[in-house]
Amino acid sequence: MKKRIIPIGLMFIVAIFGVAFAHEPTATQDKGPFTLKKLADDTYVLYGRGGNIGFAVTDEGVVVIDDQFADLAPGIADQIKSVTSKPVRFLINTHHHGDHTGGNGFFIKMTTIVAHDNVRKHMLEAPQEMMASAPGQIQNLEARIAKLEKDDPQSKDLAGLRTQVENAKKSLESARSMKLSDVPAPNLTFDREIRMYLGGREIQVFHLKRGHTDGDSIIYFPQTKVVHMGDLFFNKVIPVIDRAHGASTAEWTETIDAVVARVDPACQFIPGHGEVTNVEDLKAFKQYLLDLRAAVKKAIDGGMTREQAMKEVKLEQYSKYNGYEQRFPANVGTVYDEMKGSK
């Protein structure tokens, strides 16, 4: 299965601020593409255009994990209905990014949305953050477009950059008009752990330490041995490290260790991005974070500046990972800042 890849500039705007579109009444609806795969008894993964969705069907209703983008939400509902006519009892957001929460505006009308305390906090803050940051993002994108139009007017990157500008402007406009009460933030939150018991099923939803953000949840179905990791796990994909919202690569590796120690080793793991896999691939992702930190520490110890490290640090063993060219330098810069204690 090949998934559509969003250019990194747009992906970051959408990932952090995609909530801005959640109540846009004129948003175009997209019924796909989706790939639905059964993992175990009544437990499924749904691949689409954003973060991977998981859902479990019980006698008392459906538990859904993440909901991608606003325009995909009706299509997500249709995919669930293709399996069961039971209602969605709970929707769990693994974290606050818009490629995992963009459908909240659709689903919040029919169900209870559950997430860590910080997910609600970040979603409610998103419009103000968008208004503060988007003008600079737009200005930078427009400057890149102007330079490309001058230096390489036939560049294939121009169309993508123009789309990024258009989407950033739409997000900014939406943020300016949005009331706080319009933000479809989770309406049931927790600090450390919550457990659900539906139709004889136990669903464990828990937060450990920081990782991709400061509000990541892991969802564990012990009976069917399925774990949804959200963006704590990018399977053969270079991750986004959202330090602005509490990410910590040091704690991220500890979080993965704690998950591995807690769940059945035979579990199937749903990553936030990439294919469903096993514990060995989760450990391989942890090794990427360890190798990244070691390489950045070596650069710092060698006296490199942040800019030099971003240019010179390489991890060729991960060069085939999706997004290596686009996101790896940013990973280096983010870990550099983390280790130096920079904001």
CATH of domain 8-119+184-283: 3.60.15.10
Q: Would you state the pLDDT for residue 6?
A: 34
Side-chain-side CA neighbours of residue 169 (13 Å): 11
Q: Would you state the pLDDT for residue 10?
A: 37
Question: pTM, whole model, 2 decimals?
Answer: 0.87
Q: What is the pLDDT along the chain (343 residues), one digit of tens a residue?
A: 333 333 333 344 444 444 433 333 334 445 568 999 999 989 999 999 999 999 999 999 999 999 999 999 999 999 999 999 999 999 999 999 999 999 999 999 999 999 999 999 999 999 999 999 999 999 999 999 999 999 999 999 999 999 999 989 998 998 899 888 889 999 999 999 999 999 999 999 999 999 999 999 999 999 999 999 999 999 999 999 999 999 999 999 999 999 999 999 999 999 999 999 999 999 999 999 999 999 999 999 999 999 999 999 999 999 999 999 999 999 999 999 999 987 6
Taking the alpha carbons at both ends of the chain, their separation in whole angstroms is 38
The residue ranges of DSSP E strands in the chain, in sequence order, are 35-40, 43-47, 53-58, 61-65, 88-92, 112-116, 188-190, 193-198, 201-206, 218-221, 226-234, 268-273
For residue 228, which amino acid is it?
Answer: H
Going from the C-alpha of 82 to that of each of 75, 177, 313, the distances in angstroms are: 11, 36, 47
Q: CA-CA distance, 51 to 10, in Å (whole number)?
A: 15
